[in-house]
Amino acid sequence: MFFDRSDRVYQTMRRVAARLEQEKIPYAIIGGMAVNAHGHERTTRDVDFLLSAEGFSALRRFAAAGEFQPDPARLRRFIDQTTGVRFDVLITGQFPGSGLPGPIAFPDPRGVSLRMDDLSVVDLPTLVQLKLAARRYQDFADVVNLVRANQLDERFQDKLHPSVRADYIECLEERRREDEYEARRDRAEDGGNDA
């Protein structure tokens, strides 16, 4: 159901995006749903939106009307009352991962979004860069899969901040190791002795 794009997570993504557009709030979808938009299919239980501080303030104002319920435990998390799906807001100028200051901050969505399937989605270099800066296992796995899905190579690192280029190359090498493993396994299944 998830990959046919009718799932509750997709419904929430479209509902929130439509409401942001109605209010003329610039946004970019990031996180797992952006990974899907950029060619690697994986499930996720929530949606992440990149907003400016002003956009976040505007979202909080219209959320107070009851359409989206703020999560009392997390300032930047909301629940879509219609679907029960949560969505998080990441704010321009804050930092991915631990939240501690670093060389990469969340950018203004106006400068890094593109239209995909009638939604504003963060562009691929920014998505990869933010995932590498977050330094979580799932984010590195997402980058490996984005490398594969988009047939990226060493040249792509020139689009990334220097602080994450070594991690990008490691993800690229991991994708190559996985491809070599799959090729050996396929040969072994075809009767070869390359296990």
Q: What does pLDDT average to in each consecutive run of 10 residues of the chain (195 residues)?
A: 74 95 97 96 93 96 85 91 94 94 97 96 98 95 96 97 97 91 83 57
Specify the pLDDT at position 120. 98
Specify the pLDDT at position 184. 86
Label each residue of 28-72 as H, E or C.
Answer: EEECHHHHHHCCCCCCCCEEEEEECHHHHHHHHHHHCCCCEEEEC
DSSP 3-state of 146? helix
CA nearest neighbour of 128 among 146, 109, 102? 146
What dotted CATH number matches 2-189?
3.30.460.40
Q: Which two tokens stand for residue 25?
A: 């709030």
Specify the pLDDT at position 6. 75
- Write down the mean pLDDT value for the chain: 92
pLDDT in tens, 59-90: 999 888 878 998 888 989 999 989 999 999 99
Specify the pLDDT at position 180. 86
